[in-house]
């Protein structure tokens, strides 16, 4: 375990120089205090969880204090937002404080979001509000607990600093951890500003730091692109399997490492709805739940375009072609497991699609359905779940197919089936209304609810005594919260 001042910095991105980022100091927020910290994320930096309670911790992650070896930098990037190219984005309110190595030799970027204005702030105030910081914190740690690749969150620090959104709110900062903060938009920036040398420097950096295995391939850039395609296909398969809606899949919010990145108005599905739009500002539904799959491909083609100086169009096209089949394979594999199936049959896709259609028609709670399916034998579970469906005939027909399908896997022990299914079907999900309750309390100075919710979500597959209310269907108001981009 390390003390806070013992972190080992090695600021590799800083060494790329001023064409890639600008040196900016964080602007402190007033009366900083710990809202919530993640012991699991602290462990990634070898920090003892108890240091979160020290004044130094709040000072470091609110811009009041800086490590001697940290060189804070705002990165420059661009990107396609809602389908249109924006030539200049960049860290407008976040800073890469520095890069840290842990004792296991793992590398972590420390990114402080809400750290004040930078040369890339455009019209923005450089701040993040408490509400959005809590949402990002909870989502990062909840996704990680669901085994979905994501940036991590170390802590949220609250303050008295006023900020103006639709109304006056308070500023907060969140400390985000990731092995890299390079986005698709980084490559687009150097491509569209026609600076192939710097783009190559960036590509070589990413290859050396994150994809060293690709350097041994005959075409390292192509191998890297293939990795990005594979990782994103798997990531989006996991989002779809667990009902996660990102909300703002702009190319500047897509990680080169294929991890969930830059949380805005995200949501986990309550009722299953393929057309669900979680972002109140997304009028066209470009980033609706089911559109995430083709948008993943669209974003990868935007990255491919930016890589045309280095890779032939033919090779890029062929590699892009891997995305959909890979997505399908991962998705079906995960959904088979969620259904408690251990073998593969040709008709499994059909079985799954007809279930989702029935769930859609009857507004069935997506997460609880799968959890309950594993609680009892297939026959018992079907009998119990039937009440949630409006189209009883349709569900009965599906139930028969499902029971027959399970029985073709051979006799099985119900206890084993339950354990296997519960290990992939969470009982606790970050529902919007749960986040909202925690935010309402935190805005009144009570951080106990956000801390409790974080603890529950850190162990989503295990039943936790006394936490039954977190595993219930949401109240009606909780399904209709309007979450916008404003954060």
**Where on the chain is the footprint of Mg ion (CB under 5 A)?**
253, 262
If one counts every other C-beta atom within 10 angstroms of the C-beta of residue 439, the result is 21
Nearest distance from C-beta of residue 216 to ligand AMP, angstroms: 34
Contact yes or no for 385/359 (Cβ under 8 A): no
Asked if 127 is part of the footprint of ligand AMP (rule: CB under 6 A), the reply reads yes
Q: Which residue has the tokens 């249109």?
A: 84
- With CB atoms as reference, the residue minimizing the distance to Mg ion is 262
Catalytic annotation, pick one of 14, 46, 109, 252: 252
Residue 151's binding partner among Mg ion, ligand AMP, none (Cβ under 5 to 8 angstroms by kind) is: none
Q: How far from 200 is each of 221, 256, 348, 395, CA to CA, in Å?
A: 10, 15, 44, 55
Asked if 264 is part of the footprint of ligand AMP (rule: CB under 6 A), the reply reads yes
Q: What interhelical angle do 323-338 and 220-242 show, nearest 10?
A: 30
Question: Which positions from 191 through 210 interact with ligand AMP, judged by CB under 6 A?
Answer: none
Asked if 124 is part of the footprint of ligand AMP (rule: CB under 6 A), the reply reads yes
Strand 168-178 versus strand 128-129 pairing type: antiparallel
Contact yes or no for 436/445 (Cβ under 8 A): no
Q: Which residue has the tokens 């799959």?
A: 293
Q: What interhelical angle do 292-306 and 323-338 show, nearest 10?
A: 150
- The single-letter DSSP state of residue 132 is H
Nearest distance from C-beta of residue 113 to Mg ion, angstroms: 10
Nearest distance from C-beta of residue 116 to ligand AMP, angstroms: 9
- The single-letter DSSP state of residue 144 is H
Query: Is 252 in the active site?
Result: yes
Residues 6+ apart with CB under 8 A from 256: 180, 182, 183, 184, 186, 187, 206, 210, 228
Kindly tell me which residue out of 93, 181, 431, 479 binds ligand AMP, with binding defined by CB under 6 A.
93
Site string for ligand AMP, 205-244 (x = CB under 6 A): ----------------------------------------
Contact yes or no for 374/422 (Cβ under 8 A): yes
Site string for ligand AMP, 340-369 (x = CB under 6 A): ------------------------------
- Phi, psi at 444, each rounded to 5°: -95, 15
Nearest distance from C-beta of residue 282 to ligand AMP, angstroms: 12
Strand 94-101 versus strand 107-113 pairing type: antiparallel
Considering only 120-128, 229-237, 296-304, 427-435, which stretch makes contact with ligand AMP by CB under 6 A? 120-128
In whole angstroms, how large is the CA radius of gyration of the chain? 23
Considering only 90-98, 217-225, 231-239, 317-325, which stretch makes contact with ligand AMP by CB under 6 A? 90-98
Kindly tell me which residue out of 7, 60, 89, 112 binds ligand AMP, with binding defined by CB under 6 A.
89
Q: How many residues bind ligand AMP (CB under 6 A)?
A: 16
Question: Which positions from 244 through 263 interact with ligand AMP, judged by CB under 6 A?
Answer: 248, 253, 262
Asked if 125 is part of the footprint of ligand AMP (rule: CB under 6 A), the reply reads yes
**SS3 label, residue 9:** strand
The DSSP secondary structure of 399-436, one letter per residue, reads HHHHHHHHHTT----HHHHHHHHHTTS-S----HHHHH
Q: Rounded CA gap, 234 and 361, in Å?
A: 28
Kindly tell me which residue out of 14, 91, 99, 282 binds ligand AMP, with binding defined by CB under 6 A.
91
Residues 6+ apart with CB under 8 A from 412: 406
Kindly tell me which residue out of 26, 32, 72, 126 binds ligand AMP, with binding defined by CB under 6 A.
126
- With CB atoms as reference, the residue minimizing the distance to ligand AMP is 124
- The single-letter DSSP state of residue 64 is S
- The single-letter DSSP state of residue 15 is G
Asked if 87 is part of the footprint of ligand AMP (rule: CB under 6 A), the reply reads no
Residue 125's binding partner among ligand AMP, Mg ion, none (Cβ under 5 to 8 angstroms by kind) is: ligand AMP
Kindly tell me which residue out of 28, 92, 179, 394 binds ligand AMP, with binding defined by CB under 6 A.
92
Closer CB to Mg ion, 306 or 421, in the complex? 306
Considering only 123-131, 223-231, 307-315, 318-326, which stretch makes contact with ligand AMP by CB under 6 A? 123-131
Nearest distance from C-beta of residue 235 to ligand AMP, angstroms: 17
Q: Rounded CA gap, 261 and 178, in Å?
A: 9
Asked if 121 is part of the footprint of ligand AMP (rule: CB under 6 A), the reply reads yes
Q: How far from 437 is each of 49, 142, 244, 270, 452, CA to CA, in Å?
A: 25, 16, 20, 16, 11
Nearest distance from C-beta of residue 96 to ligand AMP, angstroms: 12
Q: Rounded CA gap, 397 and 374, in Å?
A: 19
Closer CB to ligand AMP, 149 or 185, in the complex? 185
Residue 310's binding partner among ligand AMP, Mg ion, none (Cβ under 5 to 8 angstroms by kind) is: none
Closer CB to ligand AMP, 283 or 476, in the complex? 283
Q: Which residues are catalytic?
A: 252
Site residues, ligand AMP (CB under 6 A): 89-93, 120-121, 124-127, 248, 253, 262, 264, 485
């Amino acid at each position: 375990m390390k003390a806070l001042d013992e972190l080992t910095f090695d600021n590799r991105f800083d060494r790329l120089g001023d064409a890639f980022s600008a040196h900016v100091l964080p602007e402190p927020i007033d009366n900083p205090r710990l809202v919530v910290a993640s012991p699991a994320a602290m462990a990634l930096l070898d920090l003892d969880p108890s240091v979160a309670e020290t004044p130094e911790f709040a000072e470091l992650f609110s811009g009041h204090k800086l490590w001697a070896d940290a060189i804070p930098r705002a990165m420059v990037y661009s990107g396609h937002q809602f389908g249109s190219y924006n030539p200049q984005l960049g860290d407008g309110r976040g800073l890469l404080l520095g890069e840290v190595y842990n004792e296991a030799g793992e590398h972590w970027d420390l990114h402080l979001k809400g750290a004040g204005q930078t040369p890339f702030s455009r019209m923005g105030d450089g701040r993040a509000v408490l509400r959005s910081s809590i949402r990002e914190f909870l989502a990062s740690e909840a996704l990680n607990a669901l085994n979905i690749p994501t940036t991590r969150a170390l802590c949220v620090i609250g303050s008295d600093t006023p900020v103006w959104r639709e109304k006056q709110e308070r500023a907060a900062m969140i400390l985000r951890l990731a092995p890299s903060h390079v986005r698709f938009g980084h490559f687009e920036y150097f491509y569209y500003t026609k600076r192939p040398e710097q783009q190559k420097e960036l590509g070589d950096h990413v290859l050396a730091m994150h994809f060293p295995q690709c350097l041994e391939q005959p075409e390292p850039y192509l191998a890297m692109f293939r990795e990005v395609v594979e990782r994103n296909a798997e990531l989006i398969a996991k989002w779809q399997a667990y009902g996660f809606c990102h909300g703002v899949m702009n190319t500047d919010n897509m990680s080169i490492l294929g991890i969930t990145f830059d949380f805005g108005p995200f949501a986990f599905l309550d009722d299953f709805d393929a057309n669900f739009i979680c972002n109140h500002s997304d009028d066209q539904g470009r980033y609706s739940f089911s559109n995430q799959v083709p948008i993943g491909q669209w974003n990868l083609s935007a990255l491919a375009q930016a890589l045309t100086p280095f890779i032939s169009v033919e090779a890029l096209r062929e590699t892009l072609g891997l995305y959909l089949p890979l997505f399908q394979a991962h998705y079906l594999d995960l959904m088979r497991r969620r259904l408690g199936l251990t073998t593969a049959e040709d008709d499994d896709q059909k079985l799954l699609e007809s279930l989702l259609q029935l769930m859609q028609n009857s507004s069935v709670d997506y997460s609880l359905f799968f959890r309950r399916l594993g609680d009892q034998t297939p026959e018992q579970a079907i009998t119990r779940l039937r009440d949630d469906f409006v189209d009883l005939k349709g569900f009965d027909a599906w139930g028969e197919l499902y029971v027959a399908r399970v029985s073709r896997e051979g006799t099985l022990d119900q206890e084993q089936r339950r354990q296997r299914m519960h290990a992939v079907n969470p009982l606790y999900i970050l529902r919007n209304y749960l986040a909202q309750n925690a935010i309402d309390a935190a805005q009144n100075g009570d951080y106990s609810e956000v801390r409790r919710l974080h603890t529950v979500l850190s162990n989503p597959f295990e039943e936790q005594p006394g936490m039954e209310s977190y595993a219930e269907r949401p109240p009606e108001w909780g399904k209709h919260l309007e979450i916008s981009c404003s954060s």
